[in-house]
Amino acid sequence: MEKTILHIKSLRLYILCSLLGSASIFSFAAEDPVRLKRIEGSITFDGLPSEEAWSRLDNFPLVMHKPNFGMDPSEKSVVKIGYDDEFLWIAADLFMQDPEKIYAVTKKRDEMLFDYDAFGIVLDTYNDNESALAFYTTPTGLRTDYAVSNDGSGGGAPRGSLNSSWNTFWDVETVTDNEGWHVEMRIPFSSLKFKPEGDVATMGLIITRNISSNNESDSYPAIDPKYGYMALNKPSLATTIEITGARPTRPVYVSPYALGGFSRNYALNTEGTAYEKEDKPKLDAGIDIKYNINSNLTLDITANTDFAQVEADNQMVNLTRFSLFLPEKRMFFQERSSLFNFSLGGFSDNLFYSRNIGISEGAPIRILGGARLTGRLGKWDMGFLDMQTAESGDLAGENFGVLRMRRQVINQNSYLGGIVTSRLGMDGRSNLAYGVDGIFRLFGDDYLNVKWSQVYDNETGEKLNSLNPSFILLDWERRSEKGFAYSFNYTYSGTSFTPGTGFVRKGGVQGPGGQLFYGWIPDENSKLFNYNVNVRAERLMRIADGKPESMFVMPGFELNTKKGIRAEVFLQLQKENVPYDFYLSDYVSVFSGDYSYLGSGIRFSTSESRMLSARINANIGQFYDGSRIGIKIDPTINISSSFNVTAMYEFNAIRFPSRVTNNSLDVHAFNIKALYMMSTKLSASFFVQYVNTDDELVSNFRLRYNPREGNDFYLVFNDYRSLNGENSVPVVPRYFNETVMVKYVHTFIID
């Protein structure tokens, strides 16, 4: 026993010394940076890199990332990157032996292009191995840009590390001919936040080309697919580049908007006897101002902010007793939104959730104005946000604030940071939260993630020396999809941990969780790209009474083929202690009590590089004191590069055979979205969705004209109605709301 205690103490001392800077586990080899060349001569920005100036630049040779890592690409690519006083320039000749195999099926702004023919770069502009900006295009000349956070860990939008709602000013031109397709990009330095040291700006660079006919991705540098499907978006795997003499201009972007429209609502009167009509004409205006204080610090100011043009939220089926997480779609909150991230574990819980600002129970609340300051101060990444909302009904006006700071420590993949948030009501209500966090790369692919946070709320009056308003997270993980990997974590979320600016799905619980994983990446002769076996588990106990909250053990098997087919099968043993009844519909509920049940599931998807693709999820098994059969199908039809249709249908058959009444529930949910793109600048979309348990049909039509970044014209029509209200008492109107809105935003650039 004494020897065991000695070993534990020695291990603690070893880890502590390591965190304080021991070079034994924190030294990582670094290659010499690539120095970009300044462009000498003129360039005609037409998509064809045929000028003499391009020939003087070095080629960046691509290597196959998948399906067979390390091999020569199946098609030739010539990639050049240079710069002048104003722009970072990127050019590519992307040859195809058979140009008819080029797959270009969309012109949509911000389309995610994992399976399409595409070309782009990822720039770690601060060279922090953690965050980056991505710029992609296709043969149709669309622009896709997004921000990367958390080193690409956690997947894509809406809950992961890719924020496709982030937009900035840049241009691209493409040309397709009998040799393949060609690209020219120019990105203003004023759109890239970076911090030069002396006269040199150091960044990370990843170049990617997708060849859809072969389900192939080529990259520079060579990036091992063991880092998963997000590997090509991981700043920590980028090549270091240097740009000498890059000095961005500091323009001021002034973006006033004007909005006009009409809305008609029918709402139940206070007596509940009839629906009363209310007409709301609307004429409004506001302004956004963006100023680049220097090369790495940006100030945004907004007044009378409005988001009438934002797409409607997707209706989702909720078969749990917890709140659903809805992603942020409003553009103002996208600028370096990853900097404000303070994840509390899982995919959704966070100390700062911007949808708390200006939205209450799904309804918009006027935002009077606010400011945001983002960038870098010395070695610190910094984000500050303050917003003021107006009074709305019984809800007093509120002020929301957040200050986030983080910096690199110990090595290039380790960070330490802190956050402070506030929610102050004009009626005297106050909620304050603060936290510290750290991510430490210990050795190889092993990382330690530590978080601690506390909340003070004047209505609960909890003392800060108590664990009740506290949150603690400890997580040790190995990030790899080849060989043995794991994640071990412990979470404590106190009974009074209620951050007013945050989102907490499960509170007042504590317990361990984690994953064991073993993956294989076969050689080039296999039809499989990779496959793995895994076991995920979690056990949470309620802090208030010490009883189990929930527990699951989920073994599974996953595979990906070189044709782009993805499949997963799993079993799930679930235990739930339900403290109170909760409703699945108006008539069917789950009663309080202890439940143990076993289920199974299948997930399957095909490559999106075909005219027809689909994702299918199926679940079958026990469900509380009954059973459930569920299936969800998401097909996509790419009819042409100008027209595509996406849909979703979800069906759940829930049965409780031991009950006499209210013992069955069939849930049908569907949505369909048709998108017609006349060009990369003009598009129209129609979106309709329905869930039978709500018996409400929601429709949205949106026309967008975007002649250049910052200039937008929107025509929006929303319709919200019941499909089965004829026999109701009182009689339900034909629709609850119809709104038509026109909005125009024009950006003036003042140098």
Task: Write down the residue that tokens 């209706």 correspond to.
Answer: 315
In order, the DSSP letters of 437-477 are EEEEEEETTEEEEEEEEEEEETTT---TTSSTTEEEEEEEE
3-state secondary structure of 233: helix
Backbone angles phi, psi at 101, to 5 degrees: -85, -5
Model pLDDT, residue 352: 94
Task: Write down the residue that tokens 């013992």 correspond to.
Answer: 663
pLDDT in tens, 221-241: 999 998 888 899 999 999 999
pLDDT in tens, 663-702: 999 999 999 999 999 999 999 999 999 998 888 899 999 9
**How far is C-alpha 324 from the geometric centre of its chain's CA atoms?**
16
Pairwise pLDDT comparison (412 vs 664), residue with the higher score:
664
- Least confident interval from 62-71, 298-307, 444-453: 298-307
* pLDDT beyond 80 at 652: yes
Model pLDDT, residue 417: 94
In order, the DSSP letters of 326-341 are -----GGGGTTGGGG-
pLDDT band at residue 727 under the 50/70/90 scheme: low
Dihedral of CA atoms 489, 492, 493, 494 in degrees, nearest 10, equals: 180
Model pLDDT, residue 380: 87
* pLDDT, the chain, mean: 88
Q: Is 744 in contact with 257 (CB distance < 8 Å)?
A: yes
Spell out a b/e string for 612-645, using b for 16 or more CB atoms within 10 Å of the CB, else e: ebebebebebbbbebbbebebbbbbbbeebebbe
Q: For 583-639, give the secondary structure using H, E and C.
A: ECCCCCEECCEEEEEEEEEEEEECCCCCCEEEEEEEEEEEECCEEEEEEEEEEEEEC
> How far lies 604's CA from each of 113, 281, 608, in Å?
19, 47, 13
**How far is C-alpha 477 from the geometric centre of its chain's CA atoms?**
21
With 0-12 / 13-18 / 19 or more C-beta atoms within 10 angstroms meaning exposed / middle / buried, residue 77 is buried
- For 516, the token pair is 């064991």
Distance CA 512, CA 536 (A): 11
* pLDDT beyond 70 at 160: no
Model pLDDT, residue 726: 65
Backbone angles phi, psi at 278, to 5 degrees: -140, 120
pLDDT in tens, 376-394: 888 888 999 999 999 988 8
All structural domains of the chain with their residue ranges: 1-30, 32-244, 512-671
Pairwise pLDDT comparison (459 vs 430), residue with the higher score:
430
DSSP letter assigned to residue 251: -
Backbone angles phi, psi at 544, to 5 degrees: -65, -45
DSSP letter assigned to residue 394: T
* Mean pLDDT (whole number) for 611-634: 95
3-state secondary structure of 131: coil
Name beta bridge partners: 485.
517
For the chain, give the number of residues: 751
Residue 489: which of 343, 279, 654 has the closest Cα? 343
* pLDDT beyond 60 at 502: yes
Is it true that domain 32-244 has CATH number 1.10.10.10?
A: no
Model pLDDT, residue 641: 87
pLDDT in tens, 466-482: 899 999 999 999 988 89
Name beta bridge partners: 571.
600
pLDDT in tens, 388-411: 999 988 889 999 999 999 988 887
**What helix, strand, coil percent values describe the chain, rounded to 5?**
10, 55, 40
How much is the pTM? 0.83
Distance CA 556, CA 531 (A): 11
- Least confident interval from 25-29, 445-449, 486-490: 25-29
